[in-house]
Amino acid sequence: MPLDPATDRDREDPPMATATVPIPITGQVVKTPTVADLLARYGEVLSLRIVLVPAPGTATVEDVVAIHDREDRLCELVDGVLVEKAMGYLESNMACVLIQILLNYLDRNPLGVVAGEGGMIRLAPGLVRIPDVSFVSRDQFPDGKVGSEPVPFLSPTLAVEILSRGNTKAEMDRKLIDYFAAGSKLVWYLDPADRSVRVYTAPDQSTRLDESQTLDGGEVLPGFALPIREWFERAERPF
């Protein structure tokens, strides 16, 4: 599913329709988004990944941690809604290959910290994203330690998303806006379907690279270079 840069990034999302829902035990009444509104905002396929307990619109960062601890499920938090992360074996393998290559680079250039698909990041109050791979510059760790906070406030200097069948264009467009609003400098969207990488330096500024080209780290990772065909081959043909 190739993703082209959107042309209406500055347009605000329409306000969500809501339904009045009583909260069990407490009897508290809250307004939550309707299923139709969630579909309109996030896309048809994404509806299969929306967690209904707690009620959409009421979830918190604590719920992100709780569902991971209780059910081993990775969920992002957007607009009070828990959305299960779309994952696949090949996508995970490609993330691991990239992490290994990035770690080799960082051994020589200690510029920051790399995390994988379990690295939950709080981009803003009430907004949690989980890039497949993230690089966070060392200036965000003033004491030189990563810390034990399960969902830390961080801005991924580089965020990498490896597209899977569970992702929708609406979802990925929204992620771009979230990453750059939080201070990201670079975002890579890898599309296994057509063996390409789209490199974003802003939500509306991108370049598509095919497998014959080389991915570089720009100003974020100076001197980093990865031939895209090599990335695919190392993941698909490890032996």
pLDDT tens-digit map of 2-13: 444 443 333 344
Global pTM reads 0.83
The 10 Å CB-count burial string (b at 16+, else e) for 76-93 is bbbbbbbbbbbeeeebbe
What is the rounded distance in angstroms from the CA atom of residue 165 to the CA atom of residue 87? 9
Do 116 and 227 reside in the same domain of the chain?
yes
**For 123-139, what is each residue's pLDDT tens digit?**
999 999 999 999 999 99
The token pair that represents 35 in the structure block: 């299923």
Is residue 7, in this structure, part of any structural domain at all?
A: no
Rounded Cα–Cα distance for residues 43 and 46 (Å): 6
Place 61 in a pLDDT band, splitting at 50, 70 and 90.
very high
**Residue 125, domain CATH:** 3.90.1570.10
**In a domain? residue 121:** yes
Domain end, chosen from 39, 57, 84, is at 84
Asked if residue 131 is part of any domain, the answer here is: yes
Q: How confident is the model at residue 239 (pLDDT cuts 50, 70, 90)?
A: confident
Say if residue 203 is in the same domain as residue 97. Answer: yes
> Does the N-terminal peptide bond of residue 238 adopt cis geometry, omega within 30 degrees of 0?
no
pLDDT bracket for residue 32 (50, 70, 90) = low
195-215: pLDDT as tens digits: 999 999 999 999 999 999 999
* 35 pLDDT tier (thresholds 50, 70, 90): low
Structural domain of 107:
89-236
Please tell me which residue, 171 or 185, carries the higher pLDDT value: 185
Do residue 105 and residue 184 come from a single domain?
Answer: yes
Q: What is the pLDDT of residue 165?
A: 86
